[in-house]
Amino acid sequence: MACRRGAGDRLLDQLAVKWSVNLLRIPRDGVRVGDVFVVQKRTLDQWDRLEDLYRPKLELPVPDRQLVGDLAEVESWGYEANAGFEALQGFLLGLGVPALPLHAAVKAARKTTVTLSFSVSNVSRTALLPGEIKREMERRARGSRWGSVDMKRQYVVAHAVWEATSLQIKLDGSGKTVGELSASLTNVAHASGGLKATHDSSGTIKYRRHEPIVFGVQVTGVGFETGTPQLKGVPDLTPMQVRHGGDGGGSPAEEFGTGVLIGAGNGSPFVSIR
């Protein structure tokens, strides 16, 4: 059983289907709202920052940062060890677990008969409505300097960045195997100064990072139909929509399910950034 979007996994479906989040195979620092990427199959090449593609520099509104508290209660379904640890190895690397001991621990874990589920917590989403980015790009169209664009390639702009500080893994299987794996997967994190790992007798392993790490991005496509870059398929925000207040904010069409999913719609939710 592989980790696939739209396959009924509550956690992955919440992120990939409801929110259109592209999950990073290895979470990382240095990704911001307004970053421009080139899509290469299941890889996002970090091409430039939107602000630097205009003269003078494009100034986007300050993105909103909101906690996504409901994800803390959402757990993935159970995966057999081989598929589950294959999916989580990159996340553990991104959290800061040293590569060599992690590789050895995961290699051994994937050969066991345990099943595992996982969840993330302390999740935040920093975002702009795509329509806000579109409006600023249109307003500054004459100052665009996208000189090296290859029209045959697919370009996207990050309009939301997802961060987390914690990962929880629950192991299920024979008591001895679960105990040994829990200890092994906890010990490999001790060499990282910015990461704390604990486990209990039930097979629950908790990793907590001091600083948040980017684990997903929502992106919107860029088109060049008239020779001028503009976001594709984004609602017009003129007049400006209200984002805060008693009615809960802006356009429902942009709050959920907005953005480009990289790869097949029912395929792996994970992408790589380079």
Section 152-181 average pLDDT: 95
8 Å CB contact between 228 and 144: yes
Tell whether 240 is covered by a domain. Answer: no
* Beta partners for residue 204, in sequence order: 170
Q: How confident is the model at residue 65 (pLDDT cuts 50, 70, 90)?
A: very high
Residue ranges making up the domain that contains 133: 10-234+253-261
Tell whether 149 is covered by a domain. Answer: yes
Tell whether 241 is covered by a domain. Answer: no
Dist CA 74 CA 80 (whole Å):
19
Antiparallel, parallel or unpaired: β 204-223 and 195-199: antiparallel
Dist CA 74 CA 67 (whole Å):
15
Dist CA 88 CA 76 (whole Å):
12
8 Å CB contact between 82 and 3: no
3-state secondary structure of 122: coil
pLDDT tens sequence across 211-260: 999 999 999 999 987 788 999 878 766 654 444 444 444 444 455 567 88
The total domain count for the chain is 1
- CA-to-CA separations, 75 to 79, 204, 224, 235, in angstroms, rounded: 12, 13, 41, 33
Res 193: pLDDT: 77
